Amino acid sequence: GENVEQHPSTLSVQEGDSAVIKCTYSDSASNYFPWYKQELGKRPQLIIDIRSNVGEKKDQRIAVTLNKTAKHFSLHITETQPEDSAVYFCAASIGGAAGNKLTFGGGTRVLVKP
């Protein structure tokens, strides 16, 4: 089955700096790569996603890049703010299954220091 590795496990940045989280996946059949943000005691919420036919996607301060050849994808957060502090999970999904069977990475705990 699919295996998703995520690094780093913790990330501390100064407010206004950029944060980068990297993930690798094992199954070349994966074609959907979402990123979820989970605040303490809250539900995971989708912040951005990318499909395998796209190399980069941006939404305001958040961007995701995908390298299918290397089987890795990254989340970039620019101009970080204290409210960006949370745990971020990458995930990968293999097409062909009914619905969306997501395999999550181990998570990155991001702390933005004011």
Partner 1 sequence: DTEVTQTPKHLVMGMTNKKSLKCEQHMGHRAMYWYKQKAKKPPELMFVYSYEKLSINESVPSRFSPECPNSSLLNLHLHALQPEDSALYLCASSQAQTGAGELFFGEGSRLTVL
Using CB under 8 A, list all residues that contact partner 1: 31-32, 34, 42-46, 49, 89, 93, 95-107
Distance CA 37, CA 26 (A): 22
Q: How far is the CB of 44 from partner 1 (least distance, A)?
A: 5
Identify which of residues 91 and 112 has a Cβ nearer to partner 1 in the complex: 91
Phi, psi of 44 (to 5 degrees): -65, 135
Q: How far is the CB of 83 from partner 1 (least distance, A)?
A: 19
Say if residues 77 and 89 touch (Cβ distance below 8 Å): no
Cβ-Cβ contacts under 8 Å for 30 (sequence gap 6 or more): 2, 52, 92, 93, 94, 95
Identify which of residues 28 and 46 has a Cβ nearer to partner 1 in the complex: 46
Identify which of residues 19 and 23 has a Cβ nearer to partner 1 in the complex: 23
